[in-house]
Chain A
């Protein structure tokens, strides 16, 4: 039987979820490099997979890129698409900027809050949805506009809100790994 590589052995040991994150970051540095310019692509990838960039993840990335964790935190806190807190699998971002505002975004905002049972900046208890504001998403001729993860919905009306939520649930049930608890779920608790 071939001896497993040390990295593999580590990830296979029971109860070492933390190390699996380290391994994952190792693989990301293989892909993006260990120079400073790799920082944002690595963080974007971590965010996409885990819906959070935890303090521990920031520490690991800092180690790999040989920079201070404070530098990593500085970057994570700067960009609105990176997040040090857990966000739902489905992030709904409603454009709040001028043309969407004029097109009636307030009613959409209220209905989203009602139907999801959360306020802007919050995540549902089941971890499925987060509700956020976005600044102009470049759909000003078809407002109100919302981004759902990377998908865009335009000409949204209050009665369409529930339809969109249902469509999201269906869409993501088809790709269940998006709802699957991640390896290091202990980091998700706020």
Chain B
């Protein structure tokens, strides 16, 4: 009931993709993913084939495939739906990745908030073992072995960032690492590691079931394939939708039944604000890129309420390693509250914008880098709406005068 339109994953028979992939050589598998043009569905959009190729070229006694199921970006819930409906495709994608790069161990980093999904996933994994789709000699193929474990997260948004996730798997605080080295070279326990999003891995299974050219021919030049979007906010039909990459925001909002939309937040708290005049823009890596979150804001919404909510989120979730991210997010939150109270000077606002730009440039990981995006976006498009708000005291003073 969460799924709102025709979704490709429903048409894929589990096993088809895995079977097709195991009939190819490891290099052919990597080449197929390169040819399909698949890019990461977790937000950053890094080409999956290149990631796999780099990991495959590393020489190591052990390598890891990690499925990033931390899905913490506000407004994103498609990975939950994928796991509820098509978990086998994700397991297959991981198994194919393991085959391609030479990894025998797969780990699903499942966010703590999704604890209720765990048992069903464990049962499915056990069934795959029974059917010879996991373990040794997968599908009877000599030398192909792969296993998948589930690790539960503990409620930290930053652990969705791949290097923080790896730290967390190693039993540490989820604090992002400096890069390089990248996880493909030195990841979990210092070994070559591929981290892919749940949806990316499910597409891998679909690509082998239907062929890389099928995928390549959907979408745009630089963004192949389809994308699952999690749509919420002021829409009549919230839920998960599939659209070809390159679909205009206006078309998406129409399908979901947007109610007098004034703007859409695309990409969650880390994303950008797209005002109605820009709804002709398209969802794809070369235009408006997103891990899947689309939150629709109707004309009745106050941007300062929205901003305050996002900024509270970042102030709460910053891991605190970088001073600029830790304190910057608190400063921005204070600034938003000043704006709400009608007490923010233009000069102070300018300082906050400079601070925002510095946060984008000087933060160590994507959380800090993206945290001022929404603030800057709102000021860029709707400055007039947030300045000069009435002050609470004025209001009472006026009332007293009137009585």
Contact = CB atoms under 8 A, between A and B. Distances in A.
A36 to B, nearest CB: 4
A138 B313 contact: no
Between B2, B115, B312, the greatest number of chain A beta carbons within 10 A of the residue's beta carbon is seen for B115
Contacts of B291: none
A101 interface: yes
Contacts, number: 115
Contacts of B154: 40, 44, 79-82
A147 B111 CA distance: 13
B317 A135 contact: yes
B116 A38 contact: no
B72 interface: yes
A167 interface: no
A138 B114 contact: yes
A42 to B, nearest CB: 9
Interface string A38-49: 111100100000
Contact of B74 (A41, A74, A98): A98
A32 to B, nearest CB: 10
- Chain A interface size range: 35 or more
B232 interface: yes
Interface stretch (B170-178, B333-341, B348-356, B386-394): B170-178
Contacts of A36: 170-172
A44 B156 CA distance: 14
- Chain B interface size range: 35 or more
Nearest to A151: B116
Nearest to B77: A138
Interface in B298-341: 301, 305-306, 309-310, 312-313, 316-317, 319
Interface of B: 2, 71-77, 79-80, 111-116, 151-157, 168-174, 189, 230-234, 238-240, 265, 269, 293, 295, 301, 305-306, 309-310, 312-313, 316-317, 319
Given A37-B169, A97-B269, 16 more contacts: A36-B171, A75-B173, A78-B156, A78-B173, A78-B174, A80-B155, A82-B154, A97-B313, A98-B295, A102-B234, A134-B155, A135-B313, A135-B317, A138-B80, A138-B114, A141-B230
